[in-house]
Amino acid sequence: MKEFVLAGSEKSVAFSDISALENSVGFTLPRAFVELYLKFNGGEPNRSWIVTDDGYDPMQVVDFKSIHTEGAGNSSDTRFIDRCYKVMSERQVIPHTLLPFAVDGGGNFFCLDLLNGAVVFYAVDSFREDMSMVANQVAVQKMIAQSFEKFIDTLEEDPGF
């Protein structure tokens, strides 16, 4: 496996912080996700590009969101995974089965599918007024990887366009 590092991480998390997040979202998080967040609590990835062979432009992950920890500032700040999830699902921007854990340069989300552990890209800037909220939620998703571990493994350094 290629080395993966998140620079500029927040204060380290404990298992209790992970458990609080799991309780908040109502799902158990994948082992690879938990292991990464126990090592790095968000930050900028050293390998940040997703290049696919399906005709889509390469995507860049610019920041992994942090898990809120005791004393880490305002828990209602959407830079924290739990708060972002709560705000976006309450507003029905995202379905409750997607957990936004990272963003691209335009504020679109990379989400963990809480039902099957896959990672999807979620383009929040592509909603259409002529479609229902549910139809929009489905249309703006693009499968990136079958698991969080595969997602991390497929991230590349600057692909040199």
DSSP state of 146: S
pLDDT, tens only, 89-100: 988 888 999 999
- How far, CA to CA in Å, does 150 sit from each of 22, 30, 82, 87, 158? 21, 12, 23, 28, 18
Q: At 83, is the secondary structure helix, strand, or coil?
A: helix
- Residue 122 pLDDT level (bands cut at 50, 70, 90): confident
> Please, what are the domains in the chain?
6-154 (3.40.1580.10)
Q: What per-residue confidence (pLDDT) applies to 93?
A: 83
pLDDT of residue 79: 84
Between 31-39 and 15-25, two packed helices, what is the crossing angle to 10 degrees? 130
Strand 119-122 and strand 109-113: the pairing is antiparallel
Check residue 123 and give its pLDDT: 84
Nearest to 105 by CA among 33, 40, 50: 50
- Compute the average pLDDT of residues 32-55: 92
Residue 101: pLDDT band by 50, 70, 90 thresholds?
Answer: very high
CB 47 within 8 A of CB 19: no
Higher pLDDT, 127 or 10: 10
Give the pair of three-digit tokens for residue 60: 């860049």
Question: Has residue 129 got a pLDDT over 80?
Answer: no
What's the pLDDT score for residue 16? 94
Lowest mean pLDDT among 39-43, 74-78, 79-83: 74-78
71 pLDDT band (50/70/90 cuts)?
Answer: low
Which residues have C-beta within 8 Å of that of residue 118, sequence separation ≥ 6?
Answer: 112, 143, 144, 145, 146, 147
Looking at the predicted structure, is the pLDDT value of residue 136 above 80?
no
